[in-house]
Amino acid sequence: MSDSVKQSVLVVGVGGLGAPALMTLARGGAKLALVDADPVELSNLPRQIIYRDADRGQPKVAAAARWLAANAPGVEVVTHRLMLDSANAHALIAAATFVIDAVDNPTTKFLINDVCIETGTPFAYGGVLGMTGQTMTVVPGRTACLRCLFEEPPDADESASCRDAGIIGPVAGAIGITQAAEALRWLRGEALELAGQMLTYDGRRGRIRVTEIGRRPGCRCDWRAPDGARVLGS
Ligand SMILES: [Zn+2]
Protein backbone atom coordinates (compact mmCIF):
# COMPACT_ATOMS: atom_id res chain seq x y z
CA MET A 1 0.00 0.00 0.00
CA SER A 2 1.45 3.34 -1.01
CA ASP A 3 1.77 6.05 1.62
CA SER A 4 1.18 8.69 -1.02
CA VAL A 5 -2.40 7.56 -1.55
CA LYS A 6 -4.62 8.38 1.40
CA GLN A 7 -6.40 5.34 2.72
CA SER A 8 -10.14 5.49 2.50
CA VAL A 9 -13.06 3.72 4.13
CA LEU A 10 -16.29 3.35 2.17
CA VAL A 11 -19.33 3.29 4.47
CA VAL A 12 -22.35 1.88 2.65
CA GLY A 13 -25.41 3.01 4.60
CA VAL A 14 -25.27 5.76 7.24
CA GLY A 15 -28.19 4.61 9.38
CA GLY A 16 -28.38 2.34 12.44
CA LEU A 17 -24.95 0.74 11.85
CA GLY A 18 -23.25 3.41 9.74
CA ALA A 19 -23.92 6.36 12.06
CA PRO A 20 -22.21 4.78 15.12
CA ALA A 21 -19.43 3.51 12.82
CA LEU A 22 -18.76 7.10 11.72
CA MET A 23 -18.39 8.24 15.33
CA THR A 24 -15.48 5.80 15.67
CA LEU A 25 -14.02 6.35 12.19
CA ALA A 26 -13.98 10.12 12.78
CA ARG A 27 -10.92 9.64 15.01
CA GLY A 28 -9.09 7.33 12.65
CA GLY A 29 -7.66 9.84 10.19
CA ALA A 30 -8.81 8.04 7.05
CA LYS A 31 -10.63 9.66 4.17
CA LEU A 32 -14.30 8.62 4.34
CA ALA A 33 -16.71 7.96 1.48
CA LEU A 34 -20.40 7.75 2.42
CA VAL A 35 -23.13 6.12 0.34
CA ASP A 36 -26.84 6.40 1.19
CA ALA A 37 -29.88 7.44 -0.83
CA ASP A 38 -32.24 8.11 2.10
CA PRO A 39 -33.20 11.31 3.90
CA VAL A 40 -33.12 11.67 7.68
CA GLU A 41 -36.52 10.72 9.11
CA LEU A 42 -38.07 11.37 12.50
CA SER A 43 -37.84 7.67 13.41
CA ASN A 44 -34.05 7.76 12.89
CA LEU A 45 -33.36 10.41 15.52
CA PRO A 46 -33.48 8.28 18.72
CA ARG A 47 -30.87 5.72 17.59
CA GLN A 48 -28.87 7.48 14.88
CA ILE A 49 -27.61 10.09 17.28
CA ILE A 50 -25.43 12.05 14.86
CA TYR A 51 -28.66 13.43 13.34
CA ARG A 52 -30.73 16.28 14.77
CA ASP A 53 -34.28 17.41 14.31
CA ALA A 54 -33.10 20.15 11.91
CA ASP A 55 -31.67 17.43 9.61
CA ARG A 56 -35.10 15.90 8.93
CA GLY A 57 -35.74 15.66 5.21
CA GLN A 58 -32.07 16.32 4.39
CA PRO A 59 -30.00 13.59 2.72
CA LYS A 60 -28.36 11.43 5.39
CA VAL A 61 -24.99 11.67 3.65
CA ALA A 62 -25.12 15.49 3.79
CA ALA A 63 -26.21 15.54 7.45
CA ALA A 64 -23.49 13.00 8.32
CA ALA A 65 -20.86 15.11 6.51
CA ARG A 66 -22.00 18.17 8.52
CA TRP A 67 -21.67 16.20 11.77
CA LEU A 68 -18.15 15.12 10.78
CA ALA A 69 -17.16 18.68 9.82
CA ALA A 70 -18.32 19.92 13.24
CA ASN A 71 -16.95 17.03 15.33
CA ALA A 72 -13.92 15.85 13.41
CA PRO A 73 -12.63 18.84 11.48
CA GLY A 74 -9.91 17.82 9.07
CA VAL A 75 -11.51 14.50 8.17
CA GLU A 76 -11.90 14.39 4.41
CA VAL A 77 -15.38 13.21 3.40
CA VAL A 78 -16.88 12.39 0.02
CA THR A 79 -20.65 11.85 -0.18
CA HIS A 80 -22.67 9.85 -2.69
CA ARG A 81 -26.42 10.24 -2.42
CA LEU A 82 -27.35 7.04 -4.16
CA MET A 83 -28.18 3.42 -3.53
CA LEU A 84 -25.29 1.05 -4.17
CA ASP A 85 -26.19 -1.02 -7.24
CA SER A 86 -24.50 -3.22 -9.82
CA ALA A 87 -23.81 -0.20 -12.06
CA ASN A 88 -21.91 1.89 -9.47
CA ALA A 89 -20.59 -0.67 -6.94
CA HIS A 90 -17.38 -1.57 -8.74
CA ALA A 91 -16.03 1.98 -9.05
CA LEU A 92 -16.97 2.92 -5.48
CA ILE A 93 -15.54 -0.24 -3.90
CA ALA A 94 -12.38 -0.36 -6.03
CA ALA A 95 -11.51 3.14 -4.77
CA ALA A 96 -11.69 2.06 -1.12
CA THR A 97 -9.09 0.53 1.20
CA PHE A 98 -11.81 -1.05 3.38
CA VAL A 99 -15.60 -1.25 3.12
CA ILE A 100 -18.21 -1.21 5.88
CA ASP A 101 -21.44 -2.99 4.99
CA ALA A 102 -24.03 -1.05 6.97
CA VAL A 103 -27.03 -1.66 4.73
CA ASP A 104 -30.25 -3.35 5.78
CA ASN A 105 -31.16 -5.43 2.75
CA PRO A 106 -29.70 -8.82 1.80
CA THR A 107 -29.44 -8.10 -1.93
CA THR A 108 -27.11 -5.15 -1.35
CA LYS A 109 -25.12 -7.15 1.23
CA PHE A 110 -24.43 -9.84 -1.36
CA LEU A 111 -23.53 -7.18 -3.95
CA ILE A 112 -20.98 -5.70 -1.52
CA ASN A 113 -19.65 -9.21 -0.83
CA ASP A 114 -19.30 -10.08 -4.51
CA VAL A 115 -17.66 -6.83 -5.62
CA CYS A 116 -15.29 -6.88 -2.63
CA ILE A 117 -14.29 -10.45 -3.59
CA GLU A 118 -13.81 -9.38 -7.22
CA THR A 119 -11.68 -6.36 -6.33
CA GLY A 120 -9.81 -7.94 -3.39
CA THR A 121 -11.17 -5.31 -0.97
CA PRO A 122 -11.63 -6.37 2.67
CA PHE A 123 -14.95 -5.51 4.31
CA ALA A 124 -16.88 -5.79 7.56
CA TYR A 125 -20.28 -7.42 7.19
CA GLY A 126 -22.82 -6.21 9.72
CA GLY A 127 -26.45 -7.03 10.35
CA VAL A 128 -29.01 -6.48 13.06
CA LEU A 129 -32.38 -8.13 13.50
CA GLY A 130 -34.39 -7.29 16.58
CA MET A 131 -32.15 -7.71 19.63
CA THR A 132 -29.46 -9.70 17.80
CA GLY A 133 -26.54 -8.27 15.87
CA GLN A 134 -23.78 -9.94 13.89
CA THR A 135 -20.53 -8.89 12.28
CA MET A 136 -17.69 -10.67 10.49
CA THR A 137 -14.70 -9.34 8.59
CA VAL A 138 -14.03 -10.78 5.14
CA VAL A 139 -10.53 -10.73 3.63
CA PRO A 140 -10.99 -11.87 0.02
CA GLY A 141 -8.98 -14.91 -0.93
CA ARG A 142 -8.08 -15.57 2.70
CA THR A 143 -11.15 -15.85 4.92
CA ALA A 144 -14.76 -16.96 4.50
CA CYS A 145 -17.19 -14.69 2.67
CA LEU A 146 -20.96 -14.36 3.00
CA ARG A 147 -21.48 -16.89 0.21
CA CYS A 148 -19.45 -19.45 2.14
CA LEU A 149 -22.31 -19.24 4.66
CA PHE A 150 -25.28 -18.69 2.36
CA GLU A 151 -24.92 -19.37 -1.35
CA GLU A 152 -27.70 -16.97 -2.34
CA PRO A 153 -29.52 -14.08 -0.67
CA PRO A 154 -32.82 -15.13 0.93
CA ASP A 155 -36.00 -14.48 -1.07
CA ALA A 156 -37.36 -11.01 -0.49
CA ASP A 157 -40.52 -12.30 1.20
CA GLU A 158 -38.57 -14.71 3.40
CA SER A 159 -36.17 -12.14 4.75
CA ALA A 160 -37.51 -9.78 7.35
CA SER A 161 -35.49 -6.64 6.74
CA CYS A 162 -34.35 -4.55 9.68
CA ARG A 163 -36.90 -1.98 8.61
CA ASP A 164 -39.75 -4.40 9.25
CA ALA A 165 -38.40 -6.29 12.25
CA GLY A 166 -37.20 -3.21 14.06
CA ILE A 167 -33.67 -2.70 15.25
CA ILE A 168 -32.54 -1.77 18.70
CA GLY A 169 -30.16 1.17 19.10
CA PRO A 170 -27.59 -0.25 21.52
CA VAL A 171 -27.21 -3.48 19.53
CA ALA A 172 -26.74 -1.59 16.25
CA GLY A 173 -24.36 0.79 18.01
CA ALA A 174 -22.20 -2.07 19.30
CA ILE A 175 -22.05 -3.73 15.88
CA GLY A 176 -21.33 -0.49 13.97
CA ILE A 177 -18.53 0.44 16.37
CA THR A 178 -17.05 -3.07 16.07
CA GLN A 179 -17.08 -2.80 12.26
CA ALA A 180 -15.34 0.58 12.43
CA ALA A 181 -12.71 -0.79 14.83
CA GLU A 182 -11.88 -3.52 12.30
CA ALA A 183 -11.52 -0.87 9.56
CA LEU A 184 -9.09 1.09 11.73
CA ARG A 185 -7.09 -2.07 12.54
CA TRP A 186 -6.74 -2.78 8.81
CA LEU A 187 -5.65 0.79 8.03
CA ARG A 188 -3.02 0.66 10.79
CA GLY A 189 -1.73 -2.73 9.64
CA GLU A 190 -2.81 -4.37 12.91
CA ALA A 191 -4.20 -7.89 13.17
CA LEU A 192 -7.93 -8.15 12.54
CA GLU A 193 -10.01 -9.60 15.36
CA LEU A 194 -12.92 -10.88 13.28
CA ALA A 195 -11.46 -12.11 9.98
CA GLY A 196 -13.35 -15.36 9.38
CA GLN A 197 -14.96 -14.99 12.82
CA MET A 198 -18.67 -14.23 13.18
CA LEU A 199 -19.40 -12.19 16.30
CA THR A 200 -23.00 -12.49 17.48
CA TYR A 201 -24.28 -10.06 20.09
CA ASP A 202 -27.45 -11.21 21.82
CA GLY A 203 -28.75 -7.96 23.28
CA ARG A 204 -31.57 -9.72 25.12
CA ARG A 205 -29.25 -11.83 27.26
CA GLY A 206 -26.23 -9.54 27.05
CA ARG A 207 -24.08 -12.30 25.59
CA ILE A 208 -21.40 -12.17 22.92
CA ARG A 209 -20.36 -15.28 21.00
CA VAL A 210 -17.64 -15.60 18.36
CA THR A 211 -17.83 -18.50 15.91
CA GLU A 212 -15.14 -19.43 13.42
CA ILE A 213 -16.50 -19.61 9.86
CA GLY A 214 -14.65 -21.90 7.48
CA ARG A 215 -14.24 -21.25 3.77
CA ARG A 216 -16.52 -23.31 1.52
CA PRO A 217 -14.65 -25.08 -1.29
CA GLY A 218 -16.01 -24.02 -4.67
CA CYS A 219 -17.35 -20.70 -3.37
CA ARG A 220 -16.71 -17.74 -5.65
CA CYS A 221 -14.23 -16.45 -3.05
CA ASP A 222 -12.17 -19.61 -3.53
CA TRP A 223 -9.32 -18.05 -5.49
CA ARG A 224 -5.90 -16.61 -4.93
CA ALA A 225 -5.73 -12.94 -4.01
CA PRO A 226 -4.61 -10.73 -6.93
CA ASP A 227 -0.91 -9.83 -7.07
CA GLY A 228 -0.29 -6.77 -4.97
CA ALA A 229 -3.35 -7.24 -2.76
CA ARG A 230 -2.46 -7.09 0.89
CA VAL A 231 -3.53 -10.23 2.66
CA LEU A 232 -3.45 -11.44 6.24
CA GLY A 233 -0.04 -12.52 7.39
CA SER A 234 1.79 -10.94 4.46
ZN1 LIG B 1 -16.97 -17.56 -0.02
pLDDT > 90 fraction of the chain, expressed in percent and rounded: 73
Find the mean pLDDT for residues 1-8. Answer: 60
121: left (phi > 0), else alpha (psi -120 to 50), else beta? beta
DSSP 131: T
Does residue 182 form part of some domain? yes
Residue 76: its pLDDT value, please?
95
Using one digit for the tens of pLDDT, what is the confidence trace for 15-71? 999 999 999 999 888 999 999 999 999 988 887 889 999 999 999 999 999 999 999
Measured CA distances, 170 to 48, 103, 118, 195 (Å): 10, 17, 33, 23
CA of 100 to the centre of ligand 1 (A): 17
Most distant CA pair in the chain, distance: 51
Q: What is the CATH number of the domain that holds 44?
A: 3.40.50.720
Give the catalytic positions in this structure.
Answer: 162
The string over 147-175, giving b where at least 16 C-beta atoms fall within 10 Å of a residue's C-beta and e elsewhere, is: bbeeeebeeeeeeeebeeeebbbebbbbb
Does residue 146 form part of some domain? yes
Does residue 91 form part of some domain? yes
Does residue 2 form part of some domain? no
CA of 55 to the centre of ligand 1 (A): 39
With 90 as the cut, is the pLDDT of residue 223 above it?
A: no
Residue 5 pLDDT class (50, 70, 90 cuts):
low
Does residue 231 form part of some domain? no
Does residue 233 form part of some domain? no
CA of 79 to the centre of ligand 1 (A): 30
Domain count, the chain: 1
How far apart (Å, rounded) are the C-alpha atoms in residues 151 and 82? 27
CA of 96 to the centre of ligand 1 (A): 20
With 90 as the cut, is the pLDDT of residue 95 above it?
A: yes
Does residue 155 form part of some domain? yes
CA of 138 to the centre of ligand 1 (A): 9
Find the mean pLDDT for residues 84-113. Answer: 97
CA of 216 to the centre of ligand 1 (A): 6
Mean pLDDT taken over the chain: 89
With 70 as the cut, is the pLDDT of residue 105 above it?
A: yes
Question: Domain span at residue 71?
Answer: 8-212
With 90 as the cut, is the pLDDT of residue 153 above it?
A: no
Does residue 229 form part of some domain? no
CA of 215 to the centre of ligand 1 (A): 6
CA of 190 to the centre of ligand 1 (A): 23
Cβ neighbours, 10 Å, residue 46: 9
Entry pTM: 0.90
Residue 85: its pLDDT value, please?
98
Residue 159 pLDDT class (50, 70, 90 cuts):
low
